[in-house]
Amino acid sequence: MSLENAVTAFAGFMILLSVALTYLVHPGFVWLTVFVGANLFQQSFTGFCPAASFMRKVFGLKTEAELARSGDLLHNTR
């Protein structure tokens, strides 16, 4: 899985989780949704995403460009 796909999947999961927590636990969890949305918005302009930095360091994920250069993209299409 590429870093970009992992970040997108993580953001989608966090939004769904925050909506469920808002509905089931407490309305204040809506702020988690706001935080995730604001983070995605700023990342689109700055290119910096804390989750991407974490995933790169901890899980060793590579960007799509890095995978394409190394030829791993062809082998990791599943």
Q: Give the tens place of pLDDT for each residue, 49-77.
A: 999 999 999 999 999 999 999 876 555 55
For 1-52, the pLDDT digits (tens) are 999 999 999 999 999 999 999 999 999 999 999 999 999 999 999 999 999 9
Tokens 């604001």, residue? 38
Domain encompassing residue 12: 3-75
What's the pLDDT score for residue 70? Answer: 86
The model's pTM is 0.80
Task: Measure CA 11 to chain center.
Answer: 4
Number of domains in the chain: 1
Helix-helix angle 30-46:50-59, to 10 degrees = 80
